[in-house]
Each structure stands twice: as C-alpha cells, then as structure tokens.
Chain A
C-alpha cells in the first residue's frame, strides 16, 4: 500500500520557471491538500480539494494553481517560480476535510 506518493523528492528551479509537483494517493480519499513547511512557520495550507472537480484556496494560495480531475491525483503548479517559494511541500489526504491526514514524504524545492 503506497499511501501518498509525491514526485519529485528534490527540485531546483530558476526564478520565473514553472513546474508541477505531483501527488497521488491510492486510498480512495476524497479530501486532498497541499501544505508548505518553512522553518519556524509550521505547515501552512496552500490549496485543498474535497473531491474530483472541486478545489479551494487555503491560507497561502498566491502563486500556485491546482486542479483535481481524478480522485487519485492532485498536482500543484507553480506558475512563475519566485525565491520566496523555496520550501518543503507536503501533500496529504484523508476521507474527510477535518480528519486525520496521511502525508507524503515531501518535495524539497529550491528556487534560485
């Protein structure tokens, strides 16, 4: 049972480049979310989805896009990378929005 799988694990980008962070889960969870983790800031919610075709903004959505075409996948897109987006990104899933979430291992993103 793979759980939540994030790819890539590491990425270095130049300012202005775009990229997509992938997230897939095999637990048939309706709820999926993206967080960023920065030192001393804890985890901050970027975007979330309560089911296929439904997404909503979290606390820090600017500069990021999401879509949810299937139950399994919830990619996060950086439209034009900025150094302030250097962070560790975590994808999580659960059967319902306010319930215990299963986390992936994270993507460590550096933007130069």
Chain B
C-alpha cells in the first residue's frame, strides 16, 4: 500500500523568503508523484509531477520539486514566496504502472506574511 506524509500542517513564510514544503512517500514499487495546489473555495490544480524522467521537476508559478529515492522524498520549493502563493498544497503518490489510484497527503497550508 502506498502512503504520503506531509510534514507540517501549516507553514508560514515571509514574502520573498524560500518556500519549502515537505513530502515523504511510501511505495513498494516505483512511484509517480504529484503536487497540487488548492486556493480557497476552489478545486485542486496540478503544480507539477514526477513520472520517472528527470528527478528535478519544474512546475507552474516558479515551483519545483526534487525526487530523492534514497530519502523517499519529493519536497516542493520556491526560491521567493509571493503573497499569491498562499494556499493549501497536497502531495500525492501512485504506482508508475497506472494500476492504483492517487493517494493524497493531508495537506500543508502555506501562509505568506508581508
């Protein structure tokens, strides 16, 4: 069975500071990994995905994530936070075979302080 752990239910950063949202996964087979963002009262929007190509994945809005197999991690980063980045972020995992549904973490709420 697969699982995702997002460390920190709430992260607060200053505008212009580094954003680091942590995600660790558990999977017995090679995974696909995803980061989604949810703005208030909206659905989830795909930020980026890892599908066994490059381990450093670039997404929308300046975000990127690095797949580290040895650490079973897929942390999301952005060099400089903007007020518009305030949202909830979800990490998700599936098997790269496509035979299992996505399993989501509990989410991390990002606040950006002016």
* Count of B interface residues, CB-CB < 8 Å: 26
| Contact call A40/B43, Cβ cutoff below 8 A | no
| Contact call B90/A98, Cβ cutoff below 8 A | no
Measured as residues with beta carbon below 8 angstroms from the partner, the interface class of chain A is 20 to 34
A35, A42, A45: which contacts B106 (Cβ < 8 A)?
A42
B43, B45, B98: which contacts A97 (Cβ < 8 A)?
B98
A-B residue pair count with CB separations less than 8 angstroms: 59
Complex contacts, A97 vs chain B, CB 8 Å: 94, 98-101
The digit string for B87-102, where 1 denotes a CB below 8 A from any CB of A, is: 0001000111111111
Report Cα–Cα, A42/B9, bound state, in Å. 10
Report Cα–Cα, A68/B45, bound state, in Å. 24
Q: A42-B107, A43-B104, A97-B100 are in contact. Are A103 and B95 (CB under 8 A)?
A: no
| Contact call A100/B34, Cβ cutoff below 8 A | yes
Question: Is B49 an interface residue, CB under 8 A from the partner?
Answer: yes
28 contacts between A and B (CB under 8 A): A35-B104, A40-B9, A40-B106, A41-B106, A42-B90, A42-B104, A43-B104, A44-B104, A45-B101, A48-B101, A58-B101, A90-B44, A97-B98, A97-B100, A98-B94, A98-B95, A98-B96, A98-B99, A98-B102, A100-B46, A100-B49, A101-B102, A103-B43, A103-B44, A103-B45, A105-B43, A106-B41, A106-B43
Chain A interfacial positions (CB closer than 8 Å to B): 4, 33, 35, 40-45, 48, 58, 90, 92, 96-106
- Which 4 A/B pairs are nearest by Cβ-Cβ distance? A98-B94, A103-B43, A42-B106, A98-B98
